[in-house]
Structure 1
């Protein structure tokens, strides 16, 4: 889906300032010779808070037991020792300037969107419906 002056969302619903996949899904690049194999591709969802946990792990820094990080270490996926990470909590986005849906939760293949007042919801299975065309609610 190409919008003049706004780039392509690769056919995904939404664009910037939307919590649909077309607004939040972006490619990430990692280069770490000797640790990350060139050409490695992963579809594992990663969110900004995962970078801190991953950088700590890459530097060999242990998180104190009395601290809880919002993100998870995705280094095993990057280095090829795992294909997915185990999350204790769903991914969460809150975007008050979004035109309609202001919050989104993703847990595995499932994604729930909500308006600001938590009165309107949309539910999608991203494995079955990557373009978020069929609300399962």
Structure 2
């Protein structure tokens, strides 16, 4: 029996995030650097990476969100430009589920400790 393909997922990366005093207004923001690192990585074709202007989580450093049709959505914070590998790992685990619910112990440690929000899927 063949495995059923999982629907695509979106990885949203805030490009405006910075903690107070972290980067002057005219400097490249840490989220932009994280986005660049992710875009130059070997990410699954079933995960679309997008930069977004704000996830409204500024005090928690770089933030990302994972979402997909029919799936729970998550927002994670306290990331930095060097967090690409943990984001790639967590995103792949998320994309491999049908409902977005990765068992807590199977999530990367950073995701376990830095989940900002878990949002239920839209009901049809």
TM-score by length of 2: 0.29
More helix, by proportion: 2
More strand, by proportion: 2
User: Of the two, which has the highest radius of gyration?
Assistant: 1
